Structure 1
Amino acid sequence: MRTVRESVLDVLRARGITTVFGNPGSTELPMLKRFPDDFRYVLGLQEAVVVGMADGFALASGTTALVNLHTGPGTGNAMGAVLNARANRTPMVVTAGQQVRAMLTMEALLSNPQATLLPQPAVKWAYEPPRPADVAPALARAVQLAETPPHGPVFLSLPMDDFDAELSEAEDRAALTAAARRISHAAAPAPAAVDALADRIARARSAVLVVGDDVDAAGAWDDTLALAERTALPVWAAPVSARVSFPRSHPQFRGELTPALGPLARELAGHDLVVVIGAAVFRYYPYIPGPVLPEGAELVLLTRDAEEAARAPVGDAVVADLALAVRALADRLPAAPAAPHARVRRPEAGDGVLTPLAALHAVAQGAPDDTLWVNESPSNVPQFHEATRISRPRSYLFSAGGGLGFGAAAAVGAQLGAPDRPVVCVIGDGSIHYAVQALWTAAAHRVPVTFVVLSNARYAILQWFARLEHAQGAPGLDIPGLDVTAVATGYGVRAHRAHSAGELTKLVRESAAQQDGPVLIDVPVTTELPSL
């Protein structure tokens, strides 16, 4: 007879999930013993880093990631990263060990007495199988739920003594049958809804498109680009974009909307119809009072997330597969004259202590065209996009959750998930220390990520918020004395400090061209606070 462990491994194989991101504890060892040769275990030194690496892996590879954590303490350590994964809509199965069933009632050491409550509401589903025979079928169900739009993390608590339990042939067969199921989620929009929206666009005096993260995530990039070019409508990126979903160098692109009520409405002034594709309506922070839309404007949302449609404060919505919906809409609209091409200004970067924009131009000049960018320098997002002008799909990752700790870990996972692409992680000197242990994993697995650390010895984004919220004098916003090159060297990562734009470009170019492990480049920069 076969064991639960053998059945679980076959369920994972059937779903193509053979990479495990984990930090093992005693309650996980029964699951991991006799670890098979066709699986890969990626060790992280802290649980939030483990989840962050899995997050980047799933987003870059387009597959579901598997995480293995240590019962309650490990799950607790990982919760910030799980919240980020939920906001990123990352398909992820998070497993955590549990004490043996015989000692759960007495709450022996390392018992998680309410295992399914701990990760909520950050996960789509949390479950502890009632019997050992239910472990493998529960895992199959968890994968299906993680991959159901909107994608997101799910959680399983797995008692450690379940894995050596024997299964009957019928129980084993049931698990494999469940794992073999394939569910299609490509729901076409109702033709009448598409016709109505096409008619509204045709009748509008000045329509505008707003594109969001799900355009890139759902594979609707090409269709959305075709719709924009067919209609010649201006295109904005939704506020706080975590993906790039429209070419930033395109002549119809107008920029990223401001994440605040009043300023965003002013940016859309003059438009009487706003068509939002694959984005929340809208993602705001900070609070600046004002209307959601300018006076006289209407809104229609295209989304594959029914909850996103329900919580939008204004407008109508069409819930359907994004690529199918956008393609159908373009087919019903006449072609408009092409928009004129705009010149892209690329100023030269100087030397000395670089401004963020000058540093980012230097980085962009050294990075290959097919770079997969990971960004966690929140005070420099506008400068990043001005310098990089990303214009191809699946090329940008940023945390949608608002919490730090995503960048360094996600970059390692992204390189493992897309090994044929160079990965460049632009990150602040404050941000990197939320997941600095990811450097060890990158070195241990010789993952060729290029980390570019923009160092200004402060939490610049918080200084901006302090000014905006009239909270000057708040403590803890300066972080002097950090030596990120020494930290990186201690983790086994080759580290440099760039003192000029030319040196920075050269270091990035050389790092992106090699496959012999990670490189960290520390770049002292001036501080430029954002503006609304």
Structure 2
Amino acid sequence: MRTVREAVLDVLRARGITTVFGNPGSTELPMLKQFPEDFRYVLGLQEAVVVGMADGFALASRTTALVNLHTGPGTGNAMGAVLGARANRTPMVVTAGQQVRAMLTMEALLANPQATLLPQPAVKWAYEPPRAADVAPALARAVQIAETPPHGPVFLSLPMDDFDVRLDEGEDSAARAAAARRVVHAAAPDAQVVKDLADRISRARSAVLVVGDDVDASGAWDDVRTLAERTGLPVWAAPASARVSFPRSHPQFRGDLPPAIGPLARCLAGHDLVLVIGAQVFRYYPYVPGPYLPEGAELVLLTRDADEAAKAPVGDAVVADLPLAVRALADQVGRGEAVAAAAPRESRFAEPADGVLSPLAALRAVAQGAPENTLWVNESPSNVPQFHQATRISTPGSYLFSAGGGLGFGAAAAVGAQLGAPDRPVVCVIGDGSIHYAVQALWTAAAYQVPVTFVVLSNARYAILHWFAQVERAQGVPGLDIPGLDIASVAAGYGVRTHQAGGAGELTKLVRDSTAQQDGPVLIDVPITTELPTL
């Protein structure tokens, strides 16, 4: 009869999950031995990097990622990245080895005594199968849960002595049945609910659309664009968006809402109906008090996340599949008059000085050198407005940013994204502070010849924290500057080709040349000035 290992591989093959991101330890070796030729193992030198790569891979490929960690210590190292995957709504199965069952009670070395508690509440489900025969069915269940909207990471603790156990006939039959199961999620909205919402839009004096990350993630991009064009409504991006969910070059696009209560309400002044699609209501930080909405305004949220609907501080909500809901709503609304075209709200940024590029000048140079089908990964938090002003992303599935607010996503996610979308050039725009949270990702990129273009914007400080210090009136805080970094030398030590851009023209050429080749990663260090954001 088959072993547990063979049954596990069948489950993964049935789901199309044949890439494993990992950093192996002794408790994982039994799972990985006799590694099959139709699977790919991607090694990361630190567990948070492993999860970050899997995160980018899943988001870029629109598939479920598989992670293999080393029992409790490896899971602990990865937790920040797992929290990020939760915020990104990334379908991911995180497995970790466990000590042999015979030594769990005595808590032998590397036993994880409360394995299912360690990753909570960052995961949707955490489980340790009670018998070896339950490993394959548990894995099948884990994949289904990860892929159930809202998507997210799940966790399995797997005792190392389970994988060589042979299944009896009944156990093997149960494992095969688990591998063959399929669960389809397509919750269509009630027709009357859609009609009522269409009527609210038509009665509104001045309605507005606000789009969020799940529009892009769920595949509702084209349907939202159709809805916007049929109604003629202005469109804002939800605050602190981690995806681009509406064409930024579109004449109805107005820009990004600020991530603070009072300023956001002031931005929507004059509107009496706010239709939010695929976003949290709202992702606020920092705290700037005020009304949630302008006086006299109402809000309706369309979401496939019942938890987002429940926790919204204001407004009504409809929970349904986003493409189906938006398509049905677009079919109900009449063709409204297009609103007057207006350029997205932009801030004024300084031009280059003393040979050092401003963030906007640097990002314009990068955008000029990047191909049209570039998949952008961004982890330069203080320069997000300049990034969007320079790139004007207007195609779906083209932008990744961490929704969780922490650092360490960008470099690792870019490597995973390139592996998940090998037919697209990947450009990672990242701060010189951010890249050191997952700098080991450079080794993986070099070792596997992953052709990511890393553009490091270097200003020798955590610029976003300088801004927060102003907002929070927290002057005199230590640790906000990081002098003495030499990212080019670090990257070269990992085997990455490096350059330092001395001007906009050279930067454009370096990006153009890097994105045109497939021989491995390139890192471009770009000294920039510091410009702090505004609300």
* TM-score class normalised by the smaller sequence: over 0.9
Corresponding residue of 2:514: 511
AA matched with 1:313: P
1:391 alignment partner in structure 2: 394
1:54 aligns with 2:38: no
Deviations 1:239-283 (A, max 9, x none): 000000000111100111000000000000000000000000000
Deviates more, 1:490-499 or 1:164-173: 164-173
2:333 matches 1:360:
no
Q: Is 1:468–2:467 an aligned residue pair?
A: no
SS for the counterpart of 1:21 is strand
Q: Deviations over 1:159-190 (max 9, x none)?
A: 00000111012212211211221111111101
| Alignment-derived partner of residue 265 in structure 1 | 265
Q: For residue 158 of structure 2, give the secondary structure of its aligned residue in structure 1.
A: strand
CA deviation string 1:85-138 (max 9, x = no partner): 000000000000000000000000000000000000000000000000000100
1:138 aligns with 2:138: yes
Does structure 2 retain, via aligned residues, the 8 Å contact 1:349–1:362?
no
1:245-284 aligned at under 5 Å gives the runs 245-284=245-284
Structure-1 separation of matches of 2:395 and 2:176? 38
Structure 1 position 301 matched with structure 2 position 296: no
Query: Alpha-carbon deviation of 1:374?
Result: 0.2
Task: Give the SS at the match of 1:156.
Answer: strand
1:21, 1:512 → 2: CA distance? 24
Partner-residue secondary structure (3-state), 1:161: coil
- Per-residue CA shift, 1:318-364, capped at 9, x if unaligned? 10000111111111111023345557999997581000000000000
Which residue number in structure 2 is paired with residue 172 of structure 1?
A: 172
Structure 1 residue ranges (4+ consecutive) displaced by more than 4 angstroms after TM superposition: 339-351
The whole-number CA distance in structure 2 between the counterparts of 1:177 and 1:286 is 49
Give the AA of the match of 2:503: S
Work out the CA distance in 2 between the residues paired with 1:419 and 1:493.
Answer: 19
Give the stretch that moved more between structures: 370-379 or 183-192. 183-192
Separation in 2, partners of 1:201, 1:421: 39
Q: How many residues align?
A: 532
Residue from 432, 441, 454 that aligns with 1:451: 454
CA distance in 2, matches of 1:324, 1:467: 44
* 1:38 equivalenced with 2:32 (yes/no): no
Paired residue type of 2:414: A
Cα distance in 2 for residues equivalent to 1:224 and 1:277:
8
For the residues of structure 1 that align with 2:447 and 2:169, how far apart are their CA atoms?
41
Q: Deviations over 1:52-99 (max 9, x none)?
A: 000000000000000000000000000000000000000000000000
Asked if 1:76 is matched to 2:76, the reply is: yes
- In structure 2, which of residues 405, 409, 413 is the aligned counterpart of residue 406 of structure 1? 409
Name the structure 1 match of 2:331.
331
Q: What is the alpha-carbon distance in structure 2 between the residues aligned to residue 182 and residue 325 of structure 1?
A: 23
Report the TM-score when normalising by structure 2: 0.98
SS in 1 for 2:208: strand
Contact 1:350 1:501 in 2 (8 A): no
CA–CA separation in structure 2 for the residues paired with 1:105 and 1:98:
12
Q: Residue 377 of structure 2 contacts residue 413 of structure 2 at CA under 8 Å; is this kept in 1?
A: yes
* SS of match in other structure, 2:236: strand
User: Is 2:349–2:531's contact at 8 Å kept on the other side of the alignment?
Assistant: no
Structure 1, unaligned runs of 5 or more? none
For 1:202 and 1:371, the matched residues in 2 are separated by 38
Q: In percent, how many aligned pairs have the same letter?
A: 84
Q: 1:379 aligns with which of 376, 379, 382?
A: 382
Residue equivalent to 1:192 = 192
- Which amino acid in 2 is paired with 1:451? F
The 3-state SS of whatever aligns with 1:49 is helix
CA distance in 1, matches of 2:235, 2:57: 29
Aligned match of 1:151: 151
The aligned counterpart of 1:479 is: 482
Give the TM-score, by structure 1 length: 0.99
- 2:533 is paired with a residue of what secondary structure? coil
Contact 2:254 2:343 in 1 (8 A): no
**Any idea what SS the aligned residue of 1:107 has?**
coil
**Partner residue in 1 for 2:531:** 528
- 8 Å contact kept, 1:457–1:482: yes
